[in-house]
């Protein structure tokens, strides 16, 4: 029995509508994943180097396993974290629970350092928490898409180095569209995903591992890490099988072919320029929505350049607007899950402005259908 899946205009914070060239490459006849004569090993190794540029990584390695962004996070935590070392989780959005769940599954203890939703984490609070108890790891969400806030990496990276800790970063919804700092005082490991700012369908989990993380792993004793999740086994394949079978296991070769195109576009535009183009689209969106009585939930100075969380006019729930967009205009926006009323109803909704969602016609479309919503519901 076949199923006819609905295909709305996607303005959610991932997955995003993919460019035509991405779809063409994903649908290309299958590429083999080994043997130098096929050309794939050289292609893969060049792609890994390109992604180092996207991640802002100079010294380290990028792996591109098949899976969701959760896999990149799980690889990181499984490869580095052990039950005898506690992780400090930055808590200024709902994705703190995502980190805690992963750590709980591994039997790794954790603690939270909290700040208000809707603004970037106060670095002084992180430093104070580390003074009270030094943690081996600090875990942060870079682009906190639940509240549409960006947490700057460098201030937290400086604290990690001050206390000889490692900074683990979930940039699943940021990398490829938001500047990721893995420099001298930046992140030590960054987890990404294909379906966000890389503009691919879900299926790849690129993850960048810096030199400090490698130094730490090589000193660990009695490591017990599942084969597929272990950075060290991936590194071993990347070195010893470089010219024949550079990935640890069979890779999603068509998606890698598509990711190569995306990486070229990102590098050609420049990650700063790309980020600011998405930010400009968000600014235009906010201007248009504000005229119709909507307001952003985030502090403007900390707002994400790739997604915005909106409160509707007073008396209107976020899901009411979201349902209207989908039912009347076949347009899907993200549900709000950071702010709810006493009955658990979402007060906000989220609109992405990266990839095709940042195109001027898409932004104007959102403003126009919002105008129609206001006309039908509030006048």
Give the whole-angstrom CA distance, residue 172 versus residue 368: 30
Q: Is 38 within a domain?
A: yes
In the chain, % helix, strand, coil (3-state, to 5) comes to 45, 15, 40
Domain span at residue 315 reads: 9-13+271-377
Identify the DSSP state of 243. T
Residues 6+ apart with CB under 8 A from 184: none
Does residue 4 lie within any of the structural domains? no
Residues 331 and 356 in one domain: yes
What is the pLDDT at residue 6? Answer: 80
| The pLDDT of residue 358 | 98
pLDDT score of 184: 84
- Alpha-carbon span 25 to 172, nearest angstrom: 22
In this prediction, residue 91 carries a pLDDT of 97
What CATH number does residue 201 fall under?
3.40.640.10
Residues 249 and 344 in one domain: no
- Closest of 253, 260, 257, 217 to residue 235, by C-alpha: 217
171 and 36 in a common domain: yes
Residues β-bridged to residue 340: 346
Do 253 and 308 belong together in one domain? no
Question: Could you tell me if 198 and 283 lie in one domain?
Answer: no
- The candidate with the shortest Cα–Cα distance to 237, out of 14, 63, 43, is 63
Provide the pairing of β-strand 9-11 with 331-335. Answer: parallel
Last residue of a domain, one of 204, 239, 267: 267
Residue 2 inside a domain? The answer is no
| CATH number of domain containing 336 | 3.90.1150.10
Q: Are residues 293 and 352 in the same domain?
A: yes
Distance of CA 323 to the CA centre of its chain: 25
Q: Tally the domains of the chain.
A: 2
Contact 336/317 with Cβ under 8 angstroms?
Answer: no
Is residue 74 one of the residues assigned to a domain? yes
Looking at 149-230, list the stretches that DSSP marks H as alpha helix, in order from N- to C-terminal side: 153-162, 211-219
Same domain, 108 and 180: yes
The answer to whether residues 245 and 331 belong to one domain is no
One domain for residues 255 and 295:
no
Domain boundary, last residue among 222, 245, 267: 267
- Per-residue pLDDT tens listing for the chain (379 residues): 677 778 999 999 999 999 999 999 999 999 899 998 899 999 999 999 999 999 999 999 999 999 999 999 999 999 999 999 999 999 999 998 888 999 999 999 999 999 999 999 999 999 999 999 999 999 999 999 999 999 999 999 999 999 999 999 999 999 999 999 898 889 999 999 999 999 999 999 999 999 999 999 999 998 999 999 999 999 999 999 999 999 999 999 999 999 999 999 999 999 999 999 999 999 999 999 999 999 999 999 999 999 999 999 999 999 999 999 999 999 999 999 999 999 999 999 999 999 999 999 999 999 999 999 999 998 7
The answer for residues whose C-beta is within 8 angstroms of residue 112's C-beta and 6 or more apart is 88, 89, 90, 91, 96, 100
Residue 263 lies in a domain: yes
- The per-residue pLDDT for 1 is 61
Are 260 and 294 part of one and the same domain?
no
Domain stop point among 243, 267, 291: 267
Mark whether 296 and 215 lie in a shared domain. no
């Amino acid at each position: 029995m076949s199923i006819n899946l609905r295909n709305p205009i996607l303005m959610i914070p991932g997955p995003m509508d993919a460019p035509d060239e991405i779809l063409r490459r994903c649908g290309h006849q299958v590429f083999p994943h080994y043997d130098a004569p096929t050309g794939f090993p050289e292609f893969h190794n060049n792609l890994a180097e390109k992604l180092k540029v996207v991640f802002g990584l100079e010294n380290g390695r990028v792996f591109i396993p098949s899976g969701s962004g959760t896999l990149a996070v799980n690889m990181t935590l499984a490869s580095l974290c052990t039950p005898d070392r506690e992780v400090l989780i930055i808590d200024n959005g709902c994705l703190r629970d995502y980190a805690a769940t992963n750590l709980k599954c591994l039997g790794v203890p954790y603690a939270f350092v909290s700040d208000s939703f809707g603004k970037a984490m106060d670095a002084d609070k992180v430093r104070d928490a580390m003074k009270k108890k030094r943690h081996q790891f600090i875990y942060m969400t870079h682009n906190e898409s639940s509240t549409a806030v960006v947490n700057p990496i460098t201030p937290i990276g400086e604290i990690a180095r001050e206390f000889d800790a490692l900074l683990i970063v979930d940039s699943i919804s940021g990398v490829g569209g938001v500047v990721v700092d893995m420099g001298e005082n930046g992140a030590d490991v960054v987890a990404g995903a294909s379906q966000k700012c890389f503009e691919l369908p879900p299926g790849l989990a690129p993850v960048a591992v810096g030199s400090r993380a490698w130094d730490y792993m090589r000193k660990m004793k009695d490591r017990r890490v599942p084969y597929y999740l272990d950075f060290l086994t991936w590194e071993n394949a990347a070195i010893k099988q470089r010219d024949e079978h550079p990935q640890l296991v069979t890779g999603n070769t068509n998606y890698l072919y598509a990711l190569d195109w995306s990486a070229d576009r990102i590098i050609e535009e420049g990650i700063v320029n790309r980020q600011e183009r998405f930010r400009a689209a968000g600014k235009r969106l906010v201007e248009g929505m504000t005229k119709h009585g909507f307001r952003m939930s985030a502090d403007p100075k900390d707002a994400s350049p790739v997604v915005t969380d909106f409160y509707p006019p007073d008396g209107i729930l976020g899901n009411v607007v979201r349902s209207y967009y989908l039912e009347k205009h076949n347009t899907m926006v993200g549900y709000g899950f950071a702010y709810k009323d006493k009955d658990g109803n979402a007060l906000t909704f989220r609109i992405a402005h990266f990839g095709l969602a940042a195109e001027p016609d898409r932004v104007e479309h959102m403003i126009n259908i919002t105008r129609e919503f206001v006309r039908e519901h509030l006048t």
